[in-house]
Structures are given as structure tokens and as C-alpha cells.
Amino acid sequence: MQLYASLFLLGLFNNVRGVTVTQAVPPGPTQHITLDIVNGPVSPDGFTRIGVLANGTFPGPPLVATKGQTLVVQVNNKLTNDTMRLSTSIDFDGVFQTSDNIFNEGSPFVTQCPFGPGESYTYTIPLDPAQAGSFWYHSQLSVQYADGLRGTLIIYDPDDPLQDLYDVDDASTVLTVADWWHNTSTSGLASYLQTQIIPVADDGLFNARGRYNGGPEVEYAAVPVTSGKRYRFRLINISARSDFVVSIDNHTMTVIEADGVEVHPHTVNVLDIFAGQRYSFIVHANQPVANYWINAQINGGNPAHNLNLNVRPRINRAPRAEPTTPMTEGPTGADALPLNEWELVPIVPMPAPEPDFNLTFNTFMPVGITEWEINNISYISPSVPTLVRVLNGEIQPDDFNVTENTFLFPANKTVQVTIIDAANEGHPFHLHGMNFWVVKSNGSDIINTVNPIRRDVDVTGTGTNILRFRTDKPGPWFFHCHIFYHFAVGLGSVIGAGFDEVGKIVHPTEAWERLCPNYDALPASEQ
């Protein structure tokens, strides 16, 4: 299926260069945010269903901050619909975490217990003073965020070294692509466990709008721009499964950020963005004033499993003057200038340190069993979070069940992970709390240790990926596939960094310590 949205080049004003426009961020060192997690109706493509929503919207309210601020996010669980998960926990994807605050990291059964209906938890997150860029938040419990609990988080840098390259960077330039299901995530997961077939999304959404075959002609999202202006678009894939191939008719995209890492300007005309990934790119509205398609082609699964994805949406009427040009798949063949990850160069150079340890991940799905494995082990969450057990003194390899897939390393070392994806599934592997160096990208034979791209989501394929990261943040850190249906059936692991140091550094709050007893006391129907 191809999903398309409209990019309007309005040409309403003269071509005047001005001060960079950025989203207004509340002043002060601390931002207080309240997220009420509720069940409510949602219909981004005209099909109404009940979702799991932050403050009643999909996506959830956009969060904005300035680097170095502290986010205090109070999450109130007001869920009532027992056809979906009633407990929850929130992860702030890509945001650097420190060891002393790892208990606010948000990973169920790794760094915390979830919390049930009627309960609240407040995440206090001091933002790294050196980190800015495009991020997002979502439920980390099972596949709950497929029901709608996901939203954007932008950390602005008042001293952005690349700000002279663009004129506008505000709420209107934050773009999302997302897959969407008309059924609940719990029913989808049950179907997956029974059939080994991941539920195919009923629709793909661009800025929370889309159409599905046989459905109403929902108005596509439009992105107004002014002729002559240069726009920093922040594209975030908030999907639970799918990747999107994105292009803009008659325009190029100059990539300047990948997963919060600023890179030297790199111009392409088509890019593939996978679940959990983020890119900033500059678009110059320098073409004749007209309406142009943004092409966002959704990939993920066999369309034969769902006829809604087997037919390209038809356009009849144009309530907002949709482009009269035909929809396409964007540049192909010799006309395509694709984004190749290994060509991205961080503007702040950081060589990849030599590894002290080498680890190989072989990903595999056994025939006839709905589970994914890393090195013949399918990850199963423990009943007691890893962090709780480490604080209780369980720090030896024999203390962890083999199904926890926990790898222990000393503090302040470098680990190299080689990922082999023999099935060519395209797993977007995500590391919590920190970035890794991508020494070798899938699709390239180049080994780059001088200044490789650093990011927190990297995609596998027919070749190998080589990643390196430091264990200078003691604690348990989730490392898993961001296709959450894969993650839910085992494609995950825990990196144990310097466990013998954790007790000296981590001092959780009483509120955190109450999470597990409260969760354990819940009936199974509310967990």
C-alpha cells in the first residue's frame, strides 16, 4: 500500500530570511508535564475504535524541552477497558539516562514494574546538557503502544550549530509516520501467537491521518510552507512494526540529524525510516508554487494477509486542493538518491573505541513456534525486575535465568556486537539509555572506526551489523528489536553493565519501591 500526504507550497509571503523559528519551550530548569492515560475513541483513518491514549489524543501531546532541562512527567493510569492491557509504563526513546536515575528509565521488568489502573508514577528525567534532537515516548509494556500510547519529544538546542541552514523549526515541522490497527494489540498478539503471522497494519498514517481501502476519504495531512523558506522537518517513525519509504515530489531532503546526532548535511531524495528511528532533514521550498505529494510508502508484512493493504487509495475529491499530479512511489532506479546510513558523518567526531569484549547476536525464528531468538534463546521477562535483583545483590551470571538473555560486562569497557540476521527480517535493534557506534552498517562492507554514525536504532538485513557501545553507565539496559511484535515473543536481551557498582550509585525513591508490590497485588486481568 502507498500512503500519501500533501505538502502545500503556499507562496503567500515574500522570500524573506529571518530568525530561526523554534517551538516555544517553557522557561526554567524544570518542566512539569501530566499525562493521563485513558481509553477513548480514536479514528485517524475514519474507522473509530477505542484506543489507549495519552491525554485522550493520538499521538499523545507533543513534549518539547531545551537541552539540560529536567522533565518531571506525572503519568496517571486511568485505563478501564479490559480488552486491552490495563497496566502501563512509559519509555522516553533515545533520551540518555544516567546510572543514578536508571529507575526512571521505564522498561518493565528490567528497570521497574508497570503500574495498574488508578495508580500514578512520576518520571523525573534530567536531560543531558549535551543532548538535543528528535525523540519520542511510548508504552514499553508488551505491544500496548500499538493501541495509541505514543507521542513525540523534541529537545531543542538554542545554539544549534546547523541553525543557519534553515529558517523554520517548530511544531509544524514535526512529522510522524505510524502503522495503525483497527483491532486491539491484545487480539493481534493472540493471533500472532497462534499463527506465526504478525498482524498486518490496517493502515499507515502520516501525521496521524490516513486512508484504507473501502474506508472514507479522510482528508490527508497537509504541511503548509512559504515559498522560499527552508524548513527543518523532524521525521519520527512511531510505528510498532512498519518502515516507511519517504520522498517529496520535486524536492530533495538534506539530512542533518539521525536519532539525536547531528550530521554534516547530506542530500538525498528518498529515505527509508524504520520503527523507532528519527531523522531531521531540510527542505527548501524553492519550486514553483503548487501542491506536491509527500510519498510515504509503508512496508511490513504480506499484503495478501489483509486486502485493505492490497489496493492503493483512490483520490476523487480534493477538499484541500490535493495535488493534481498522480501519486507515485517516489524516485526509483537511476533517479533515486537513497539515504545510506554509512554515508552520514557526525559533526562532532568521536572515534569508536577498540573493543574489550566481542558478542555475536544470531537472530532466528524456529519453524512452528511463535518466538524469536538471539543465540537460540527467546527472551522472557522475569517476574522481578532485573534492577531490583541487582540492588538485592544478585549480580553473578548464575543468578539470572537463561531466558532473561542477560549479558554481564565490567564497567567502563567497550563491547562490540555483531548482529547476523540470516532471515533478512530487517530488525531495528534499539539500545536503551545510550547510543552505539555503527562500525558497519547493513548493506555496506565499509568498516568505519574513525567517525561512524552514532545512534540508538540500527537496522539489520542480509549482511552483518557491527555496533560498539561503552559500559560506563552501570545498570541493566534493554537491547531489543523495535518491531514490538518481535520483541514481545523473545527478540530482546539485557546488557548488564558494571552490576557490582549499581548499589553504590542507584538509590530509588519510595514511589519506585512501591511499584512492584502494588503490581504483584493486582489481579491478572489488570496487569
User: What's residue 289's pLDDT?
Assistant: 85
Dihedral angle at the C-alpha atoms of 264, 241, 473, 69, nearest 10 degrees? Answer: 70
- Rounded Cα–Cα distance for residues 184 and 200 (Å): 12
The pLDDT tens digits of the residues spanning 134-152 come to 999 999 999 999 999 999 9
User: What's residue 213's pLDDT?
Assistant: 82
- Rounded Cα–Cα distance for residues 508 and 39 (Å): 30
* Lookup: cell for 103: 529507575
* Lookup: cell for 86: 490495563
pLDDT over 50 at 6, yes or no:
no
The pLDDT tens digits of the residues spanning 104-142 come to 999 999 999 999 999 999 999 999 999 999 999 999 999
Q: What is the DSSP string of 256-321?
A: EEETTEEEEEEEESBEEE-TT-EEEEEEE--SPSSEEEEEEEEE-S-GGG-GGGSSPPP----TT-
User: What's residue 153's pLDDT?
Assistant: 98
Tabulate helix, strand, coil % of the chain (nearest 5).
15, 35, 50
Closest to 76 (Cα-Cα) out of 123, 112, 109, 40: 123
Higher pLDDT, 443 or 3: 443
The pLDDT tens digits of the residues spanning 437-483 come to 999 999 999 999 999 999 999 999 988 999 999 999 999 999 999 99
In contact, 116 and 478? CB cutoff 8 Å:
no
* Lookup: cell for 474: 552501570
Q: Which domains does the chain have, with CATH numbers?
A: 1-19+160-339 (2.60.40.420), 21-157 (2.60.40.420), 357-526 (2.60.40.420)
What mean pLDDT do residues 291-304 have? 75
- Rounded Cα–Cα distance for residues 441 and 461 (Å): 9
The pLDDT tens digits of the residues spanning 82-102 come to 999 999 999 999 999 999 999
User: What's residue 23's pLDDT?
Assistant: 66
Angle (CA) 240 465 337, round 5°: 75
Closest to 507 (Cα-Cα) out of 387, 398, 384, 346: 387
Residue 324: which pLDDT band, with cuts at 50, 70 and 90?
A: confident
Say which residue the cell 492490497 belongs to.
310
What is the pTM for the complete model shown? 0.94
Angle (CA) 50 54 60, round 5°: 105
Q: Cα–chain-centroid distance for residue 146?
A: 12
Q: Which of 262-266, 316-320, 439-443, 493-497 has the lowest mean pLDDT?
A: 316-320
Query: Going edge to edge, which strands form the sheet with 150-156?
Result: 63-66, 150-156, 133-139, 90-93
